[in-house]
């Protein structure tokens, strides 16, 4: 039997899948051939997903802790006992503390609309739990883009195979947005040029026709330097700017500071390179920039993205279907979040905690968090300032519940572990933050063991708390219908019934509507944004660099073989990824007496990490790259890479700054 499904992982491609079932078991997973974005091609990870479903690390039953936190001491219990324990503990907390001393913590373990954010939000709203600001991924860049465009909507990627100049800027598309690379390859076959701008000569840099190897976090300065040249050379699109944008005069003034001399010094590019990039970008149409997450995981990440986002407006790239930019297209889908998440159930204001600052929140003694409920996330691997987070989870007075598919590093710190279904075991509605297809996937197999989907567990908790509202009984089908309760879906006849029949529907008339309907307050693309002053202190993307006061800057981007920390336990993929390692420039290696394969210590005031040295020219002097979020136990000293990263916040959007990590290096 063959089933339709959608990959639920936190990846722009949201691939449509074909799942082959034999004897009620998943036999094979491949890409759906009819889906216009997947085109029958999936990554090496999802193709191996059955290894996750049937992994011996699956949590299959509820468990309670019977030994020390962080050790593998658990005893199987029933669902009844698990729910009763949680309710009793929380009721005790509610008696003695404010309701917002209970903290939900989740991110994007599944991107399924329902199991990502629906019943959970209803439940925690009604409970009056603390609010979580979900900023760990793209908050800085999303906000930066929005300051120019008002909403996370860019080019429809389907057209990018007709682009003539494609820039992969701080995005390792070959690893993280495979189908965008496939569209680029198609464009290249029709004469397009592909450029990569990155701090590592990675797979996307090799794939590109031209690679611009820049210094970390110098992207905003580079964008303004490019703009300066384009304006000086009179290569900007006057008519487009006049008709569709606001504040160009002020922006033009700003760019004057970014002379080639200054920009080359900051970015590390030569004047020849800077000129070539600027002129080719301005004169080749349609041009398209894929703006990645890498350049925004920095202290100046919001501003970097803001500045880059304005380049397509400067050259009028938006006039072409195949032109413009994508930071995120999550704004394509008008999901009815009010109906789905029911913010009206929240009776009074509660405190808000930024997930980047989890460690700080857990060590707040004045206003203590007494319980944390983790789902869709693995904070003891993915959150910055790991040692502070760990110290928090080790608190004996913190009641920890973890709802997980796997015995992750985080699950080992739980008081109660609840078993979660994989996406092949539950129903969900799927969108994407890159393409414009919406889908509904029914479960392909029965849940393993006693595992349950998020929506069901939150329903159970709500009933156990005696919450009477009908909405706590909604099933996946009812939730999906509510999600689609919007005039856009109605006018386009996009209903759950149609989705059940057709599996997926491609949304029409999607793309950045620059003409008078731009999503900003002024209905124009904004070179200048006076409203930004409140949150950023400036009305123009004035970009500066920063110093970490350390000899090295450590960049820790995703691994091609994992999906954040997911898949890191799968042997077949681990064979490819190898052990946790760090790329070091040859000159730095010589200076520190380090040879290939040596174990080295990368450290700072927060922690220390032991990694295998890879000596190469892929990184510049002063830059270290360690790819992949391995589970803590995979590191020689059990210190995951986030032991080193900081919980400071980005300039704009209060986002994570994983890549602005100052470190020192020594041979062991």
Ligand X SMILES: Nc1nc2c(c(=O)[nH]1)N[C@H]1C(S)=C(S)[C@@H](COP(=O)(O)OP(=O)(O)OC[C@H]3O[C@@H](n4cnc5c(=O)[nH]c(N)nc54)[C@H](O)[C@@H]3O)O[C@H]1N2
Q: Which residues bind ligand X (CB under 6 A)?
A: 10-11, 107-110, 115, 136-138, 169-172, 175-176, 197-200, 202, 214, 216-217, 219, 292-295, 298, 375-378, 382, 403-406, 408, 420, 454, 555-560, 562-566, 629, 641-642, 645, 658-659
Query: Nearest distance from residue 311's CB to ligand X, in Å?
Result: 14
* Residue among 198 and 486 whose Cβ is closer to ligand X: 198
Task: Specify the residue, 137 or 195, whose C-beta has the smaller distance to Mo ion.
Answer: 137
CB 28 to ligand X: min, Å: 21
What part of residues 118-157 is at the interface with Mo ion (CB under 5 A)?
Answer: 137
**Residue ranges of the alpha helices (H) in 417-570?**
454-464, 476-483, 487-491, 496-502, 532-536
**First CA to last CA distance, the chain:** 54
* Shortest distance (Å) from residue 98 CB to ligand X: 26
Question: Which residue sits closest to Mo ion, CB atoms considered?
Answer: 137
Residue 333 interacts with, from ligand X, Mo ion, none (CB under 5-8 Å by kind):
none
Give the residue with the Cβ less far from ligand X, 345 or 619: 619
Task: Quote the least distance from Cβ 517 to Mo ion, whole Å.
Answer: 29
Contact partner at residue 378 from ligand X, Mo ion, none, CB < 5 to 8 Å by partner kind: ligand X
Cα torsion for 397, 402, 408, 412, to the nearest 10°? Answer: 30
What residues from 450 to 509 belong to the interface with Mo ion (CB under 5 A)? none
What is the total count of residues that contact Mo ion (CB under 5 A)? Answer: 1
Separation CA 56–CA 612 (nearest Å): 28
Of 329 and 520, CB closest to ligand X: 329
Q: Which does 651 bind (CB under 5 to 8 A by kind): Mo ion, ligand X, none?
A: none
Quote the CA–CA distance of 74 and 414 in Å, as a whole number.
9
Judged by beta carbon, residue 316 or residue 640, the one nearer Mo ion is 640
Strand 165-169's sheet: what is its strand order?
Answer: 210-213, 193-198, 165-169, 287-291, 324-326
- Would you state the structure tokens that stand for residue 216, as one six-digit string? 């970390």
Using CB positions, name the residue nearest to ligand X. Answer: 294
Smallest gap from residue 176 Cβ to ligand X (A): 3
Contacted entry of Mo ion, ligand X, none for residue 129, CB cut-off 5 to 8 Å set by kind? none
Q: How many CB atoms lie within 10 A of CB 154?
A: 27
User: Distance (Å, rounded) from C-alpha 644 to C-alpha 647?
Assistant: 10
Provide the minimum distance between the beta carbon of 52 and ligand X in the complex, in angstroms, as a whole number.
Answer: 8
Closer to ligand X by CB, 286 or 419: give it. Answer: 419
Q: Long-range CB contacts (< 8 A, 24+ apart) of 261-264?
A: 262/221, 262/225, 263/221, 263/222, 263/224, 263/225, 263/228, 264/225
Q: Which is nearer to Mo ion, 125 or 142 (CB)?
A: 142
Instruction: Specify which residues 586 forms β-bridges with.
Output: none
Q: Which of 105, 145, 99, 164 is nearest to 125 (CA)?
A: 99
Residue 507 interaction partner, one of ligand X, Mo ion, none, beta carbon < 5-8 Å per kind: none
- List the single partner that 303 binds among Mo ion, ligand X, none, CB under 5 to 8 Å by kind: none
State the Cα–Cα distance between residues 13 and 42, nearest whole angstrom: 9
CB of 443 to Mo ion, least distance (A): 25
| 200 versus 651: smaller Cβ distance to ligand X | 200
Nearest Cα residue to 378 out of 409, 417, 352, 347: 409
Long-range contacts from 192-195, C-beta under 8 angstroms, 24+ separation: 192/163, 192/164, 192/165, 192/166, 193/164, 193/165, 193/166, 193/280, 193/284, 194/166, 194/168, 195/165, 195/166, 195/167, 195/168, 195/277, 195/280
For ligand X, which is the closer residue by CB, 236 or 562? 562
In whole angstroms, how close is the CB of 523 to ligand X at the nearest point?
A: 29
Q: Provide the token pair at 422.
A: 């994989």
- Residues forming the site for Mo ion (CB under 5 A): 137
């Amino acid at each position: 039997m063959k089933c339709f499904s959608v990959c639920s992982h936190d990846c722009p491609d949201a691939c449509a899948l074909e799942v082959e079932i034999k004897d009620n078991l998943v036999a094979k997973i491949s890409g759906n051939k009819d889906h216009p974005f997947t085109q029958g091609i999936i990554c090496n990870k999802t193709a191996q997903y059955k290894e996750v479903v049937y992994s011996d690390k699956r949590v299959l039953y509820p468990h309670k802790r019977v030994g020390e936190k962080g050790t593998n001491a658990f005893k199987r219990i029933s669902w009844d006992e698990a729910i009763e324990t949680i309710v009793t503990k929380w009721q005790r907390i509610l008696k003695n503390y404010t309701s917002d001393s209970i903290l939900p913590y989740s991110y994007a373990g599944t991107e399924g609309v329902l199991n990502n954010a629906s019943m959970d939000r209803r439940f925690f709203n009604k409970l009056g739990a603390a609010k979580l600001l979900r900023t760990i991924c793209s908050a800085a860049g999303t906000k930066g883009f929005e300051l120019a465009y008002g909403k996370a909507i860019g080019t429809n990627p389907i057209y990018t195979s007709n682009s003539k100049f494609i820039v992969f800027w701080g995005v390792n598309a070959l690893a993280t947005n495979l189908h965008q690379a496939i569209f680029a390859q198609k464009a290249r076959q029709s004469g397009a040029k592909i450029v990569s701008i990155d701090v590592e000569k990675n797979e996307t840099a090799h794939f590109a026709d031209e690679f611009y190897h820049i210094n970390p976090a110098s992207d905003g300065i580079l964008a303004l330097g490019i703009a300066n040249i384009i304006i000086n050379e009179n290569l900007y699109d006057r008519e487009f700017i006049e008709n569709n944008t606001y504040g160009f005069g002020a922006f033009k003034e700003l760019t004057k500071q970014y002379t080639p001399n200054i920009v080359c010094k900051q970015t590390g590019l030569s004047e020849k390179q800077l000129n070539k990039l600027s002129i080719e970008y301005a004169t080749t149409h349609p041009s398209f920039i894929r703006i990645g997450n890498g350049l925004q995981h920095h202290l100046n990440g919001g501003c970097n993205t803001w500045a880059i986002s304005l380049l397509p407006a400067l050259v009028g790239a938006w006039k072409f279907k195949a032109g413009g930019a994508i930071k995120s297209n999550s704004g394509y889908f008008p999901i009815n979040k009010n109906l789905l998440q029911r913010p009206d159930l929240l009776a009074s204001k509660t405190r808000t905690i930024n997930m980047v600052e989890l460690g700080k929140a857990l060590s707040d003694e004045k206003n203590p968090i007494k319980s944390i409920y983790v789902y869709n996330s693995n904070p003891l691997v993915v959150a910055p300032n790991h040692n502070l987070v760990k110290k928090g989870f080790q608190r004996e007075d913190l009641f920890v519940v973890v709802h997980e598919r796997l015995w992750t590093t985080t699950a080992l710190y739980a008081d109660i572990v609840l078993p979660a279904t994989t996406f092949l075991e539950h129903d969900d509605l799927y969108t994407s933050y890159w393409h414009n297809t919406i889908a509904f996937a029914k479960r392909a197999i029965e849940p393993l063991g006693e595992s349950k989907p998020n929506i069901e567990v939150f329903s159970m908790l709500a009933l156990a708390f005696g919450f009477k509202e009908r909405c706590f009984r909604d099933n996946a089908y009812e939730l999906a219908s509510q999600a689609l309760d919007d005039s856009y879906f109605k006018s386009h006849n996009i209903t759950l019934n149609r989705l059940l029949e057709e599996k997926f529907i491609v949304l029409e008339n999607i793309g950045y509507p620059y003409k008078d309907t731009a999503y900003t307050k002024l209905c124009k693309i904004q070179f200048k944004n006076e409203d930004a002053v409140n949150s950023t202190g400036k009305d123009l993307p004035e970009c500066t660099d920063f110093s970490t006061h350390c000899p090295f800057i450590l960049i820790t981007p995703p691994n091609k073989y994992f999906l954040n920390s997911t898949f890191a336990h799968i042997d077949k993929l681990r064979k490819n990824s190898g052990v946790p390692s760090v790329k070091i420039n040859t000159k730095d290696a010589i200076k520190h007496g380090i040879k290939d394969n040596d174990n080295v210590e990368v450290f700072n005031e927060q922690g220390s990490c032991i990694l295998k040295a890879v000596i190469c020219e892929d990184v510049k002097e002063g830059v270290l790259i360690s790819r992949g979020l391995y589970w803590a136990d995979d590191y020689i000293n059990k210190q995951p890479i986030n032991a080193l990263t900081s919980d400071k916040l980005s300039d704009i959007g209060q986002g994570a700054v994983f890549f602005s990590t100052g470190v020192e290096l020594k041979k062991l």
